[in-house]
Amino acid sequence: MTSIRHFPATHPLPDWRNFGVMLRVLLGINGLALLAALVMAPDIAGWPGRFIELTAVVEPLLLIGLASLAFLRDVLWRLPLRLGQFLVLALVGGLTGGLFIYWQSLMLSEGGSPGRAILLALAATALLLLYFELRARAFSPAQSEARLAALNARIRPHFLFNSLNAVLSLIRARPQQAEAALESLSDLFRAAMRDPGELVSLADEIALGKQYLELEYLRLGERLAVDWQIGAVSMALPIPPLMLQPLLENAVYHGIEPAPEGGTVRIGLAQRGDELHISIANPTVGQTAHAAGNHMALANIRERLALYYDLEARLEIETGDHRYEVRIVLPCRQKIR
């Protein structure tokens, strides 16, 4: 199986292309503008108006600055930390001075001086750079690796125990099938023991999911039907390991096994722009006995997605009409070769 090493962006300079970073910058700067408006307003009643005036100046500068930093991210990452931070400050200072002078030439800004505007922009930028540097140190690769290992360790016992049960159920009744199932189980063990800091190809994760479902089919027989709906997706796209299997396990355990007549597990994969969309749906029988275990697995996956992608990935749940569906959206990044 092919894999690439990956951890959340813990570079002291932030990933300016990451949605989470952009959101934090937008909230931080607008929060500072809100406080500045409170200081500058003559009274509380004039606070909202002053804030609107400030945002009319701050927002264009903020958006232009974020776009420039996103474009220059790779260049900045290759530089020593302090030099990279200095260039970020220089870029922000230059943009602030240039835009301030331009607005004055159009009579859009009255009073004040470019020097004061530059000083305020540099102070706000320095605070954000300090925050991201401290955050990167708090979420170091070693800590991220330890957390991912702990999260994976929670999934493995359920995964391997259920797979082993499927094989044990065949040993007496169908020994030949049990032998073949043990070979598949060895592959599942190998996949479960891989380094949690490695992303795997979508093809490998799909193969692992199919192996698991084949083991469950040996146990459940015709009660388990599977419908794979794979669109035009690159099989080389990297995703976190053990992303599909726990959801498939939940679908079988909570949706198929309690129903005497069984049902169909539907798996959909589609690439829409720069996002990979994964959906897993199963029928429900109105039983909630295992809901806690289901929520634990989903919480585990949510936390791992946050460690890998920050706010760029999301997990959503939809219920209704005797149907339970989990949807995951991941950013499409470099391919595994």
Name the residue with higher pLDDT: 190 or 68: 68
Tell me the sheet residues that pair with 315. 328
Q: Is the pTM of this model over 0.85?
A: no
pLDDT, residue 319, reads: 84
Name the residue with higher pLDDT: 260 or 294: 260
Q: List the structure tokens of 244.
A: 């599909």
206-212 mean pLDDT: 86
pLDDT, residue 97, reads: 83
pLDDT, residue 335, reads: 57
pLDDT, residue 104, reads: 67
* pLDDT tens figures, 56-87: 878 888 888 899 998 988 888 888 888 888 99
pLDDT above 90 for 327: yes
pLDDT, residue 196, reads: 58
Q: Which of the 8 DSSP states describes residue 195? A: -
Tell me the sheet residues that pair with 279. 268, 327
pLDDT above 70 for 148: no
* pLDDT tens figures, 93-147: 888 888 777 766 665 555 556 777 788 888 888 988 888 888 777 655 445 455 5
Which range in 90-94, 110-114, 216-220 is most confidently predicted, on average pLDDT?
Answer: 90-94
pLDDT above 70 for 218: yes
Which of 155-158's residues contact partners 24+ apart within 8 Å by CB, and which partners? 155/192, 155/242, 155/246, 155/297, 155/300, 156/192, 156/193, 158/246, 158/249, 158/293, 158/297
Task: Please tell me the distance from the alpha carbon of residue 3 to that of residue 233, in angstroms, as a whole number.
Answer: 18
- Closest to 277 in 3D by CA, of 330, 229, 333: 330
pLDDT above 70 for 153: no
Task: Please tell me the distance from the alpha carbon of residue 208 to that of residue 236, in angstroms, as a whole number.
Answer: 15
How would residue 239 be classed by pLDDT, with cut points 50, 70 and 90?
Answer: confident
* C-beta of residue 240 within 8 angstroms of C-beta of residue 199: yes
pLDDT above 70 for 37: yes
How would residue 285 be classed by pLDDT, with cut points 50, 70 and 90?
Answer: confident
285-314 mean pLDDT: 70
Task: Please tell me the distance from the alpha carbon of residue 121 to that of residue 267, in angstroms, as a whole number.
Answer: 49
Averaged confidence pLDDT in the chain = 78
pLDDT above 90 for 179: no
